[in-house]
Every structure is written in C-alpha cells, then in structure tokens.
Amino acid sequence: MSLVHEIDYGTPASRALARVTLTIDGREVRVPEGTSIMRAAMEMGTQIPKLCATDMVEAFGSCRLCLVEVEGRAGTPASCTTPVAADMVVRTQTDRLKRLRKGVMELYISDHPLDCLTCAANGDCELQDMAGAVGLRDVRYGYDGAKHPDPGKDESNPYFTYDPSKCIVCSRCVRACEEVQGTFALTIAGRGFDSVVSPGMEESFLASECVSCGACVQACPTATLTEKSVIEIGQPEHSVVTTCAYCGVGCSFKAEMRGEEVVRMVPYKDGKANRGHSCVKGRFAWGYTTHKERILKPMIREKITDPWREVSWDEALGHAASEFKRIQAEHGQRSIGGITSSRCTNEETFLVQKLIRAGFGNNNVDTCARVCHSPTGYGLKTTFGTSAGTQDFDSVEESDVVVVIGANPTDGHPVFASRLKKRLRQGAKLIVIDPRRIDLVRTPHVDASHHLPLRPGTNVAVLTAMAHVIVAEGLVNEAFVRERCDRDEFEDWAAFVSEPRNSPDAVAKISGVPADAIRAAARLYATGGNGAIYYGLGVTEHSQGSTTVMAIANLAMVTGNIGRPGVGVNPLRGQNNVQGACDMGSFPHELSGYRHISDDATRAMFEALWGTALDVEPGLRIPNMLDAAVDGSFKGIYIQGEDILQSDPDTHHVAAGLAAMECVVVHDLFLNETANYAHVFLPGSTFLEKDGTFTNAERRIQRVRKVMTPRNGFGDWEITIALAEAMGFAMSYAHPSEIMDEIARLTPTFAGVSYELIDALGSVQWPCNAKAPEGTPVMHIRGFVRGKGKFVVTEYIPTDERTGPRFPLLLTTGRILSQYNVGAQTRRTPNVVWHQEDRLEIHPHDAEQRGIRDGDWVKLASRAGETTLRALITERVAPGVIYTTFHHPDTQANVVTTDYSDWATNCPEYKVTAVQISPSNGPSEWQEEYGELARKSRRVAPVIEAAE
Ligand code: SF4
Ligand code: SF4
Ligand code: SF4
Ligand code: FES
C-alpha cells in the first residue's frame, strides 16, 4: 500500500459542454471551453509550476509562478487565470519562463525560514517541491533580509497549528474558507509585504468564526497551517480510502497512516458525496477510537448493581446465549429481541436482523431509525413507492429554489450545507421553514428569501397552506400531474387543500407565520425554476411526522419538482448508516428492501437460503418492546451500537423497561448509559477496524475499509456470528463481501451490488440491478416506482401535547456541529472545547419574565419529568419556544420529552414538548441520583491474578 495521491489540476473543472482544441508543448489537447491553460496542461500530464492555484478553489493569479508563453500574445500570462482558446499554441517551458520562475522562487525563499529538515511539512511541502521543479540552486538576495510580519504561532485550535512565519500569502486558505466551506472566517490583513492571514478580526482561530472544517489546512501548500497530528507523528506513509462514520452525508476520506496509527484523515476528492470537503467531526474527531475509556474485554454480571467482571469471549457469548435460551424456554419465543445499529455497517446490520429472525425465531427487531426517519420510509413509500430520498447531493448544483424544512444543515449535515451555500451564493433562492433562526437564514453572502418561523408542531398546516396557494393561484404543473400522478387522488387532494381552513390566513393563526410569508414562499417554490426540498428530524419527529413527509411529497408532485437533477425530496439522514439500517430489514415488519414479512414469496426466499422457517407476524417496535418489558412479557434484548437510554424519549420509561429485563446485552464501544442496565457487555469495533459498507442519505453505498487491527479483537460482524453460533444458529462468512453477496441475492434493489462493483465505481446508489447496472443517482425519472404518484390528503391534527398555564413554553431539540448525537464519540475528543455542556436557548423576553440571566441554572420541567441545565439567552428562538441539544448524559434532555409519537411509525415527538422553566440552584436531585447510579454501574471488579 502507498499513499493515494490525487492529481491537483490547479483550477476547477469547467462545466461547459463545448470543447476546444489547442496545442501545448507541441501536443494537441481537447478540453471543455473555459478550462484554464494550467488545467488543460495537467489533463495531458504536464504540471506547470504553481503555488497559489489548487483545483478546489478558483484561480487567483497572485504567485506568478505558472507563467506560460502563448503564440501571438505579448508577455507571459499566468496559466491558472488564462482560459484556453481554440487553436491556441502554448509553451510551458522556455528559457525566459525558466528565468522568470527562478526569480519568483528566489523572492519566496529569501523570505522563508530555512528549517526544512525539522519542518512538519518536510516531504509534503509544495514550496519545497516548486523550488525543485524550477531548478532553484541559489538565492541572490541571501536569507537575512527583511521578513514578512510574524505575530507568532496560534495553537488555539485543538487540531491544527497556524505558524505565520511560513506563510507565503498565497491566499489558498482564505479562498478555501470562502469557496469550499462558505464560512468566510479568514482575511488577508495588512498590505504588500506586511500582509498576513488573519482569522476574523485578528482573533485566534478558536475565538473566530472558524468552524474547524480544515479546508484551509488542506489547501495550504506550506507548513503554515498543519494538523497537530502530523506535527506530532510525522508524514504518513500509506493511505486507505474509507467513509466517515458520523453523519448521513457520508464523506469519503483517505485515512493517512503510519503503520496502524492514523496520522490524519483527508477528505477524498473523488468522494461523490463530499467532493474533497469535510467537517470537523470526520476530519478531526477520530481520537475516540483509541480513547482510554474504550472497553476492550467482554464483561458480565448477575445483577445491574454488581460490578462488572471481565471474562473471555467464549464465556460472555455462552452466557448471553444461554440466558436468551432460558428466557425463551420460560417465557416464549417472542420474549426476546434486538436492536440494530445505524452506526454499524450494512453487513453487520443485516446479520443482526438475521440473527433475530432466524436465530431468535421472531421479528422483534428494530433500529434507531424508529426515533428519527421512520416517517420518511412510510411517507415516501406511500406517495412515490420508495422509502428513500430522490436525488444525489450533486443535484443541488442545479437547484434554483431550495426549501429547507426542519433541518439545520450547517450543524447537522455540514458538508451538504457547504455545497448548498455555494449554490446559494451563485444565485439560487432559499426558503427556511423552522421555528429557530438557523444559521442558513443569514450567513455570509446568503440571505434566505423567506424564513417561516412556525410554532413547533404546525408543519402540516403550513405545508398544506402552501399547497392551497399553489392550487388557488393556478400554479399547478398540470402536465406533470396529468402524466405522472393518480388523477382522482389529485382531485380529492386539490379540493381538500382549497378549503378555507387551509388558507394562509387561517393557518397563520395556528402557526404564527404571517399569511403573506406563506403565500410568497409558495409562489417562489412553484415558479422559481428547479425546486428542491431538504428536510430533517424537525419534520419526522412529530406526532404527524409521516403526514408532513407526505405533505412535502404532495408539494413536489403538484409543482412537477421530481424526476430530474436540481429538484426532489431529500431527507437529510442523521446517522452515517441510517439509510442502510432501514434498507437491510431492521424494521420488525420488513425484510431487506422494504418487503413485508407477511409476503409469502419473499419470506420463502429467505427461508430457503437461511434454512429455517421465519415468523410471519411482524415483531415489536422499540417502544413496544419497552412496554412489554414493563408488563413482564419481554425479558431479553441484544442492543448493537445504540444508547437507547440517552437517545430515546421519556428516559424514565426506557429505564423502567430495561430494568425489568432479565438479560440485556449491550454491544458498544464504551460503557454507555444503556449499559448501566446491562448484564453482558460485548466490546464493539470502530469503523477504522473493520470492512463493510455504509449507505448515505443519497442511497450511496460506499466502502468502509479496515485500517487497523480491531483493538477488541474482532469486527462487530464477527461478534454477531459468534453470538448466533452460541445460540445454535450457524452463520458462515469469511469476509463482509460474502454478506453483501447474500444481501444482493435476497434484495432486488441491491441485486447488482458487490464489492467489486463498488471498488470499480467508487460508490453506487441503489437501486442497482439489471435495469440500472451502475446504480440510480436520481429516482422516478420516467415514472414513480409505485406507478402513479399518490397525492395524500394531509389533515392537520394538532399534537396532544399542548401548552397551558403549567407548561406555557414549547421545547424543541437539535444538534450542534461539534457534537454528534449522544456524544459517545465526540465527547471523547477535543471537540468538547466547542461544546462542554448542553445549554437551554431562551428568548430574552421569556428569560426576563422569569428572572433568568445568561449562564444561570434553569429547571426545565414537563409532564414527563424535569432536568436542569444552564441558560443561553438568544434571539435565535422565538418568544414562547426554547431549544436544547442532547449530547451530554448528565443533562438527560430526554427526561422531559414525552411518549407521544408519529401515528404511523411510532417515531417519538421529540420536537414538541410543553414545558416550564424556572431559576434553579444547580443539577436536580434526579440528576445527582442518576449520576450516582451510573458511577456504581460502571465499576469493574479488579482482575484477580491466579496465584502460582
Ligand atoms: S478550518 Fe474551515 S472554517 Fe476554519 S478557517 Fe479554515 S476553512 Fe475556514
Ligand atoms: S496560510 Fe498557507 S494557504 Fe494561507 S496564505 Fe499562508 S501559505 Fe497560503
Ligand atoms: S459532514 Fe458528516 S459525513 Fe461528512 S465529515 Fe462531517 S460528519 Fe462526516
Ligand atoms: S499558480 Fe498561477 S499565479 Fe499562482
């Protein structure tokens, strides 16, 4: 293995269709119109010396190293800023050019510290490379002259160092921050020789607007911006392409290694989801993999109040299996079940549901999508026929109007947000529908055309009112509806949305959004060109989550915004493999590929291959498993990679369910909150330690590749196989690729998928089969998967969770950029520097009424429970609405969320809880008690060495 080196073409690719032919150094080359001479030369393998150009950003033309001669033109133009022209004749190497380039390099080097041997970039420095490329042998000006200003190193960012003494002021970092990331955190301060790169208003990186995405570090050609890991370890010697294990964007990375040590993660330019960009989590927050709190040995205990006892794998698996078998013998086949993980690979998820269906002999399998995107599956399957988003991320580059509803992409899906912001800076329009004024509403060079700050819980009413406007004002795409949708259902729906109770004026009273704003947003979406809708958990995690998804689908159909690039309905998936977990048959009623367990032909196919009869009855969902546990009929559970105690609603109920079980097996990296109730702990492996695939929000299946030996000894897929064997159900796979082969045999939408195909194409989007052998970037192009698109009447039914005198405020929850879900990984990285605790966002008006000041402890109480956290006074939330994140277990935000859930899928209503807040002295009694239980529960008995 060696380092994967991607070619740097110097300038971005031109998207023009027309092509021109020119001659460079005597050779003809044909490239798209608008291509730079530099890129055209690189396309034919000639690298023109360069310093300020790189193909992730537009050309700048400042270093003057890339000069060329063009026949018939005076002077020596910069090849990075000069576009090709038909019949142009270019020379890249002449005596004059050599002389000029050496002169430029002499100036750079005379102003550069010559500590190359001890410099962190030694071996990966473009300045050094260019000195070699131009044949620099001497510097006429010496090295002792004036140097540009050096304000000293900035070590404030936990992951990278800024050493201005090495800066050549090429501005690549500034442009990367603007063009790739879209944060505009950097400027060049000062003029001429005194120019220096400055974060914000000459602040430190940590204090500035910087979001630590690392694009500037990647762009820097010298050691000025360098990863601290490179400074500490040295340059990597090989790399492996793999996929980020955090969010559903699915960024592709080169894990750059020395031996089995990760030196750095570098976003892969060929990654089709991220195109060479990343966020702080994927690029930097991988330190949890070697964190000292990782559990590496299996453990068991009789009672949850006992200390843990480290045991062998055989003993742990044998104990779990015998307990599960005992429970089934005493309480029946359906008395146990399991939860698959959206953090684990497709192959691992498939095996867990196989273990439950075939090994446990029931369908009591569910997944964390239950608590996030299960309404997406239901809503899109009902309306379009497929439980998945319709587009790829590239699609946003062709959108003219983008609606973001119930999502906060700059925090939750940062790399998609950067791609979206780029499109918005090019002129696309934005509509934000969200109770909070999320960053996208106003961000550098982006102003949303409309922000509809609706009251939490009123999505359906607002979307139906937008449909009202579209129908009432004759903005229906008649041709699309006629050709592609069921006419009768459309007529019924159109009559429904036209009713006065669905008008913007009526809905304004319910939602708090002015009628004119609803009208304007509807008109823009319907008439603004390619309209795309992106949504997140602010849509799904409601009692009407599935209805909202269908209301979105209705809007897309009525305006014809489906079935081509630039449009579509796009769920922004939370976890890295939540799409895959759903695809793999993790729901109790569905086998892989969303086929109902009661379908005899489908079941027969699985039974034949697995050699066992399957239960025909759908199993229990997570909340039903917990209810059944409290009722005494459900006694054992295998939980892979999910912390239900922290992530599921109504924590007291989850705790009661877990406490009532006789055998809880937790398979995870750390002793998480759920493990406080476990009897068996099986140590899990990280994405760096195993092979497999993840499927991102675009339905893109990408390889996860092992870069280091699992510290716990096994990949998670191997542990599930061993547990199945201990249960008496043998599974035999030598490698995860064989599991994928089985998935392909059993799942029509995956029929063409194999590791060979993924390796050949880089990634593939399902459906991938005989009809689409290289996958399907955009769905429903010629027709909907279900045949005719189905308009569904979306009656607005207010949630039962109401505000009143006792609980007058509405709480809604979300994520923050630097932390990830329950925080198990990110809290164990330096990312805590940005978010050490969950804070409660309160509007100044609500805070003042209650005498709460910024930073005060606040009691947050609902009908379900209460917790305490500190206040953050901000106008990001409207009066009457408060907001918090749920990344820290000591806050336990889900103690206050209720057990109301989506009518169709049981997805919990995290986004609407009626609450009251009041000043407090500190953490509540409950939090103290819980902390004590957690401390006790995590005790591990000392290992007693056998005396000789
Ligand atoms: S890390 Fe990202 S946000 Fe921060 S300055 Fe660099 S490019 Fe900008
Ligand atoms: S910090 Fe690096 S990328 Fe930025 S101007 Fe200096 S040398 Fe160029
Ligand atoms: S955007 Fe998501 S997938 Fe990409 S690096 Fe960040 S967390 Fe990972
Ligand atoms: S690379 Fe063209 S001017 Fe710097």
Model pLDDT for residues 282-311, shown as the tens digit of each residue: 999 999 999 999 999 999 999 999 999 999
User: What is the pLDDT at residue 946?
Assistant: 37
What mean pLDDT comes out for the span 892-918?
79
Burial class of 931 by CB neighbour count within 10 A (0 to 12, 13 to 18, 19+): middle
Q: Does position 712 have pLDDT exceeding 80, yes or no? A: yes
**Per DSSP, what are the bridge partners of residue 757?**
none
Task: Give the least confident one: 306-315, 365-374, 847-856, 933-942.
Answer: 933-942
Residue 172 near ligand 2, beta carbon < 6 Å: yes
User: What is the pLDDT at residue 940?
Assistant: 65
List the residue whose alpha carbon is closest to atom 3 of ligand 4.
61
- Indicate the helix (H) or strand (E) that contains 870: strand 866-873
Given the structure tokens 């103290």, which residue do they identify?
928
User: What is the pLDDT at residue 944?
Assistant: 42
How many angstroms separate the CA atoms of 318 and 311, rounded?
Answer: 11
User: What is the pLDDT at residue 945?
Assistant: 38
How many angstroms separate the CA atoms of 749 and 732, rounded?
Answer: 24
Q: Does position 246 have pLDDT exceeding 60, yes or no? A: yes
- Indicate the helix (H) or strand (E) that contains 810: strand 809-814
Kindly report the average pLDDT of the chain as a whole number: 92
Residue 851: which residues within 8 A CB-CB, separation 6 or more? Answer: 919
Q: Does position 747 have pLDDT exceeding 80, yes or no? A: yes
**Ligand 4 atom with the shortest distance to the CA of 53:** 1
Residue 947 pLDDT level (bands cut at 50, 70, 90): very low
Residue 52 near ligand 4, beta carbon < 6 Å: yes
Q: Kindly state the tokens that stand for 17.
A: 């269709």
Residue 842, CA atoms < 13 Å, CB-side half-sphere = 31
Residue 130 near ligand 4, beta carbon < 6 Å: no
User: What is the pLDDT at residue 932?
Assistant: 64
Residue 934 pLDDT level (bands cut at 50, 70, 90): low
User: What is the pLDDT at residue 335?
Assistant: 97
Tell me the per-residue pLDDT of 760-789, one tens digit each, with 9 for 90 and over. Answer: 999 999 999 999 999 999 999 988 989 999
List the residue whose alpha carbon is closest to atom 4 of ligand 2.
173
Task: Give the least confident one: 126-135, 262-271, 812-821, 885-894.
Answer: 885-894
Best mutation site among 54, 160, 181, 264 for ligand 1 pocket (most ligand atoms within 8 Å of CB): 181
Tell me the per-residue pLDDT of 332-364, one tens digit each, with 9 for 90 and over. Answer: 999 999 999 999 999 999 999 999 999 999 999
**Pick the residue with more confidence: 353 or 920?**
353
Q: Kindly state the tokens that stand for 397.
A: 């580059």
Going by the DSSP 8-state scheme, the letter that residue 296 receives in this structure is: -
Q: Kindly state the tokens that stand for 552.
A: 């979105």
Which residues surround ligand 3 with Cβ inside 6 Å?
244, 246-247, 249-251, 274, 278-279, 281-282, 413-415
Pairing of strands 839-842, 866-873: parallel
Centre of ligand 2 from the C-alpha of residue 131, in Å: 17
Residue 186 near ligand 2, beta carbon < 6 Å: no
Q: Does position 103 have pLDDT exceeding 50, yes or no? A: yes
Tell me the per-residue pLDDT of 3-45, one tens digit each, with 9 for 90 and over. Answer: 888 999 999 999 999 999 999 999 999 999 999 999 999 999 9
User: What is the pLDDT at residue 68?
Assistant: 98
How many angstroms separate the CA atoms of 603 and 505, rounded?
Answer: 51
**Ligand 2 atom with the shortest distance to the CA of 219:** 3
Going by the DSSP 8-state scheme, the letter that residue 642 receives in this structure is: -
Q: What percent of the chain has pLDDT over 90?
A: 75
**Ligand 4 atom with the shortest distance to the CA of 49:** 1
Centre of ligand 4 from the C-alpha of residue 97, in Å: 13
User: What is the pLDDT at residue 816?
Assistant: 75
**Ligand 4 atom with the shortest distance to the CA of 60:** 3
How many angstroms separate the CA atoms of 350 and 348, rounded?
Answer: 5
Name which of 22, 122, 31, 39 is nearest 79 in CA terms.
39
Q: What percent of the chain has pLDDT over 70?
A: 97
Write out the E strands in 568-645.
568-571, 590-591, 595-596, 636-640
- Which residue type sits at 494? A
Tell me the per-residue pLDDT of 610-656, one tens digit each, with 9 for 90 and over. Answer: 999 999 999 999 989 999 999 999 999 999 999 998 877 778 889 99
